[in-house]
Amino acid sequence: MNFLKPWVAEDRERLLSDMNSRMNTLQREFNQFFDNFAGNWRSNPVVLEGEKFFNRFVPSINIRENEKEIVVTAELPGLEEKDINISHSDNELVLEGEKKIEKRDEKEQAHIIESAYGSFRRVIGLPATIDLAKIDAKFKNGVLTITLPKNEKAKTNVKKIEVKTG
């Protein structure tokens, strides 16, 4: 019947402390595992060749909205405008592209590669209130900003709903 007993602050603090201790132990074990795997990279290099070892690149996106527009920003470090394709249909915005692996000198040896590479495709659902003819996209410093203006119907189609008491 202990599970029916109400939580007290000491129980909660003890549980959180125990969870924190276990997570720290797990983190140390993971670190030790990867240190053992990689060894001392200066004397025993870990060279990861082939796409299967690289992280898949998935750009982070943020979506904000106000009464006039929806703004989508995507973080695309290492890409240029030519690497990005943007399209839309009636109900979705599609971001596609590829972050290609950097070309290296044949004499250069990679020791650690943590950067993510590869093709990506992000699909964002669009409300019917977007003016598709006025979508604008800008790319600066590795950040893509897409502005999706709302049509006049969206701006005037706001209805206040009265809240009644019980």
The whole-model pTM stands at: 0.59
CB within 8 Å of 78: residues ≥ 6 apart: 99, 115, 142
How far apart CA 94 and CA 106 sit, in angstroms, is: 37
Q: What one-letter code names the amino acid at 74?
A: A
Q: State the alpha helices, DSSP H only, in the chain.
A: 9-38, 152-156
Indicate the burial class of 131 (C-beta count within 10 angstroms; 0-12, 13-18, 19 or more). middle
> What was the pLDDT predicted at 67?
87
Q: What is the mean pLDDT of residues 31-47?
A: 52
- CATH architecture of structural domain 53-155: Sandwich (2.60)
pLDDT tens per residue across span 102-155: 777 777 777 777 778 888 899 988 888 888 889 999 999 999 999 999 988 766
Please state, in angstroms and rounded to a whole number, the distance separating the CA atoms of residues 77 and 117: 11
Cα gap 97→121, rounded to integer Å: 7
Query: pLDDT for 125-134, tens place per residue?
Result: 888 888 888 9
